[in-house]
Structures are given as C-alpha cells and as structure tokens.
C-alpha cells in the first residue's frame, strides 16, 4: 500500500498529535511576534473562507435533518466556504426549493458547490435527468455527483450499463451548465476475474468532458491505491477531492467499513503530498467529509478538520 505516502506506524499517533499541538502553539507564537510591527500593532487574521474549504453536508446529516438553517450557520461560522449537499428528492434539497436553499447558503457567505444525487442505472430516464438537472441549475450548483452503487449492483454488467447511462445524464447536465461527476468508494477497485471496474470500465468508459471523478482519498487508500499514482496515470480527471482521514493502516478491503474514519489531519494519510499533486489531478475544489458524523460529535469533527486543513495541510 504505497507506504511512502503515509505514516504507517499507528503507535506513533500520540507522539504525532503532541508534536502537531506543539507546532500549532509555537507557530502561533511565532506568527504573533511577526505580526507585531515597529509600533506593536497586530495584523488581523486571515478570513478562513479565503482558503476555499468545502464541506459535504452528509458529515452533519442528522443536524441538517433537524435544523438546516441553524446547521448551515454553524458551518459558516467554522469558516467553510463551500457546501456539497446530500439531500435531494423530488426537485427539492432538504425539503427546500432550489432557489430558497441557495439563498440560505449565500446569505451566510458560502456557496453551493455540488450535490450528491443518486442516479439508478436500472431506472433513469432522460425526463428524470432533465428534472434533476433543472433543480441543480436552480440551486446554482457547479457539480452534480453520483455518490453510490447499491451492493447488489456491483457487478461487471451493471457497471457497463451504468457508464452508458451516466454519460447520457452528463450530457443533460452539461446543457444547463452543470458538471456531472462520480464519487468512488473502495468496492470499485475489487477485481472480478482480473477486471477492476474503476480502471477497466469507469475511467475508460466515462467521457471526461461529461463526467469528472470526485476522488475520495480515504476509500482509495483503503482499497490499496496511491492517489498520486492515479493522478499520474489519469491526469486531469479528478476535479474534486474528498478529504477524510484514517487512524490505522489496513490490508486492502472492498466492503464498506467506516469505523476507522478520522477528522482530517488526525490520522495517517499524507494530505500534503496528495495536495502537492493537485495540478496533475486537475483538482479545482476540495471537500471535507466525515461519514461517521464525528462519532457523535459532528461539529467538533468538522471543526477539527478545517483547522488541520488550514493550519497544517495548506500551510
């Protein structure tokens, strides 16, 4: 598993965390000294939103279901600039009309970047795709992303049909100014008699002009893949990054296990190395996601993630 791009010794986690905390404290002190000019006046801190960090709202899904406006306010206060939605149904987002939801977001100084919206290859019609595209255009989203493949559909024949259907959906989206995308997990990297769907069906079959890849760095790592090697092999195909971390190195696996998900910067993934290759990847935006909702503390989790992104990964 491409050990060179991660710390592989989980027994060093406590030491690494202590060192990270020390660096934050000492770095903050150094910055404070530098900010004091000859007259002793401190420079105002940079607005966190200028770093352009996005949040997948699936990370706080229970809170969004309970109080969408209040939850969005908390996200904005933490410094997130973009949101990616995970609540589309029947032309609405979290129960709100597209323009209404977009206004809630923009009034808080954020922007709707993307939306995860399930497209079923067995039942998609172009009429349905048009309704979905118009809703996302009304939301003013830049991307609409296919996020998931049902377990019973993870087979070669389905993947082939899905690629054909998603290319057609991508055409419909493009007509209204939306870039369609595909979000991976780990199961796409499982081998079927030597055929690996992600490399042998999805990437070759998806028209790069119609479908971009939203690469989930946690899931590709758990599948034993090196993101930087992927970027080198398929340059320009990955406009969106999903950032989430992991506590432990494991052997590659292809079922969905979420217990090891960590806030960004608290685990083993070397995000600085990956972000250094963002131009080769074609990355335009990066998005924090926590499938486990912070293990019961969703806002604490996403706060930790954005702080690590700004202070450690982008530093």
pLDDT of residue 183: 98
1 confidence band (pLDDT: 50, 70, 90): very low
100 confidence band (pLDDT: 50, 70, 90): very high
On the question of pLDDT at 309 being above 50, the answer is yes
> CA-to-CA distance for 285 and 293, rounded, in angstroms?
21
On the question of pLDDT at 53 being above 90, the answer is yes
Query: What is the percentage of the chain residues whose pLDDT exceeds 70?
Result: 85
Per-residue CA distances from 275 to 19, 30, 142, 228, 312 (Å): 22, 25, 21, 9, 12
On the question of pLDDT at 17 being above 90, the answer is no
CB 122 within 8 A of CB 109: no
Instruction: Convert the pLDDT of each residue in 193-218 to its tens digit.
Output: 999 999 999 999 999 999 999 999 99
- Both tokens of 28, joined, read 């903050």
On the question of pLDDT at 175 being above 90, the answer is yes
Listing DSSP states for 187-204 in one string gives GGGS-BTTB-HIIIIIHH
Domain boundaries, the chain: 14-45, 48-313
CA atoms within 13 A on the CB side of 115: 29
pLDDT of residue 34: 38
pLDDT of residue 46: 85
Among the ranges given (5-19, 53-67, 143-157, 182-196), the one the predictor scored with the smallest mean pLDDT: 5-19
pLDDT of residue 128: 86
Q: At what angle do helices 298-308 and 68-78 cross, to 10 degrees?
A: 30
pLDDT of residue 43: 57
Pick the CATH number of 48-313 from 3.40.50.2000, 3.40.50.300, 3.20.20.150, 3.30.360.10: 3.20.20.150
124 confidence band (pLDDT: 50, 70, 90): confident
272 confidence band (pLDDT: 50, 70, 90): very high
What number is the average pLDDT over the span 269-286?
A: 98
On the question of pLDDT at 29 being above 80, the answer is no
Which has more confidence, 46 or 279?
279
Which has more confidence, 38 or 287?
287
CB 159 within 8 A of CB 201: yes
Q: Which H or E run contains 29?
A: helix 13-35
Instruction: Convert the pLDDT of each residue in 179-199 to its tens digit.
Output: 999 999 999 999 999 999 999
On the question of pLDDT at 278 being above 80, the answer is yes
pLDDT of residue 121: 59
Q: Which H or E run contains 129?
A: helix 126-139
On the question of pLDDT at 12 being above 80, the answer is no
106 confidence band (pLDDT: 50, 70, 90): very high
> CA-to-CA distance for 49 and 69, rounded, in angstroms?
19
pTM: 0.85
What number is the average pLDDT over the span 57-61?
A: 98
> CA-to-CA distance for 305 and 261, rounded, in angstroms?
12
Instruction: Convert the pLDDT of each residue in 233-262 to its tens digit.
Output: 999 999 999 999 999 999 999 999 999 999
pLDDT of residue 108: 98
């Amino acid at each position: 598993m491409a050990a060179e791009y991660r710390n592989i010794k989980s027994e060093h986690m406590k030491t690494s965390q202590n060192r990270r905390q020390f660096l934050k404290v000492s770095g903050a002190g150094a910055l404070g000294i530098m900010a004091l000019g000859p007259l002793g006046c401190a420079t105002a801190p940079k607005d966190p939103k200028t770093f352009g960090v996005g949040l997948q709202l699936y990370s706080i899904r229970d809170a969004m279901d309970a109080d969408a406006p209040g939850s969005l306010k908390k996200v904005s206060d933490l410094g997130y600039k973009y949101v990616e939605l995970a609540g589309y149904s029947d032309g609405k987002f979290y129960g709100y009309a597209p323009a209404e939801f977009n206004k809630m977001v923009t009034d808080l100084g954020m922007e709707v970047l993307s939306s995860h919206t399930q497209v079923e290859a067995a039942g998609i019609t172009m009429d349905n795709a048009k309704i979905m595209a118009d809703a996302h255009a009304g939301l003013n989203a830049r991307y609409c992303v296919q996020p998931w493949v049902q377990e019973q559909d993870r087979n070669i024949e389905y993947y082939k049909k899905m690629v054909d259907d998603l290319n057609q959906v991508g055409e419909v989206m493009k007509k209204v100014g939306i870039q369609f995308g595909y979000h991976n997990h780990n199961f796409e990297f499982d081998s079927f008699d030597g055929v690996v769907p992600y490399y042998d069906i999805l990437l070759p079959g998806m028209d790069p002009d119609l479908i971009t890849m939203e690469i989930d760095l946690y899931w590709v790592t758990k599948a034993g893949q090196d993101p930087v090697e992927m970027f080198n092999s398929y340059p320009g195909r990955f406009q969106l990054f999903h950032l989430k971390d992991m506590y432990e190195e494991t052997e590659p696996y292809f079922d969905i296990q979420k217990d090891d998900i960590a806030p960004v910067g608290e685990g083993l993934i070397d995000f600085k190395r990956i972000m250094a290759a963002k131009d080769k990847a074609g990355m335009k935006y990066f998005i924090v996601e926590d499938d486990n909702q912070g293990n019961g503390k969703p806002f604490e989790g996403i706060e930790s993630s954005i702080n690590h992104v700004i202070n450690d990964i982008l530093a």
